[in-house]
Amino acid sequence: MKRIVLNIALTAFVFAGFVACKEKSNATAGEAQEVAKATETAMDYSINVEESQILWKGEKPTGSHNGTIKLASGTLAVAEGVIEAGNFAIDMNSITCLDLDGDLKEKLEAHLKGTVEGKEGHFFNVTKYPEAVFELTGISEKEGKTMVSGNLTIKGKTNAIEFPAAVSVEENALKLQSEPFEIDRTKWDVNYGSRTIFGDLGDKFINDDIELTVSLVAKTS
């Protein structure tokens, strides 16, 4: 695997504000790739699930919703300041909505999780698929940006994606902050309200693209 030295000098990461000031990129889903393997000299950095998160945003003609998803676990293997391999599991039961309150918030979160009887498969069906998984396949430089490539598995379906991120590796700590990027949810069989899948929805559709922003903090043991 071609290794690219990451920007070790990066010293500032703005986790919430970063979303608003960066242009979104599209992480086109493709065929799953071979997972990257670490060398024997690599050191493991364990992801701190309390300090890491994924921000999400979904849109429809009448508005949008946004929220967070927690990580369940994860490890990144680093050698000489370079991430060589790694993976992380996403706790799909932790999906929250930040722009609603009370009953509306609870109803949307239950619908997204698939805990409403008869609507289990509309979105993420967390009872059957409690975790999503990202496995690193490589890191490269493109047009002055660090690009993180990997296989993303949601609802048992795997597609390769790529997104831009800033990465800082220190002796005992690692931070990875992605730019906002979009994935087409229908590539993972999350089809509810999709005008692409169901052509007779009029203006009552939900956009296929979901915006994600990944913030990882990892530390050596």
Q: What tens digit of pLDDT does each residue of 72-93 get?
A: 999 999 999 999 999 999 999 9
> Is residue 114 within 8 Å of 120, Cβ to Cβ?
yes
CATH number at residue 139: 2.40.128.110
Give me the number of domains the chain comprises. 1
Neighbours of 22 (CB within 10 A): 15
Residue 46's Cβ-count burial label (10 Å; 0-12, 13-18, 19+) is middle
Band (pLDDT 50/70/90 cuts) for residue 1 is very low
Looking at the domain assignment, is residue 5 inside a domain?
no
CA distances from 81 to 45, 52, 93, 103, 166 (A): 12, 20, 33, 47, 13
Looking at the domain assignment, is residue 12 inside a domain?
no
| pLDDT (tens digit per residue) in 145-163 | 999 999 999 999 999 999 9
In which domain, by residue range, is 102 found?
Answer: 18-219
Looking at the domain assignment, is residue 118 inside a domain?
yes
Statement: residue 12 has pLDDT above 60: no
Statement: residue 28 has pLDDT above 90: no
Looking at the domain assignment, is residue 2 inside a domain?
no
> Is residue 100 within 8 Å of 63, Cβ to Cβ?
no
| pLDDT (tens digit per residue) in 163-192 | 999 999 988 999 999 999 999 999 999 999
> Is residue 57 within 8 Å of 65, Cβ to Cβ?
yes
DSSP state of 179: P
Neighbours of 211 (CB within 10 A): 18
Average pLDDT, the chain: 89
Residues 6+ apart with CB under 8 A from 182: 24, 25, 26, 27, 209, 210, 211, 212
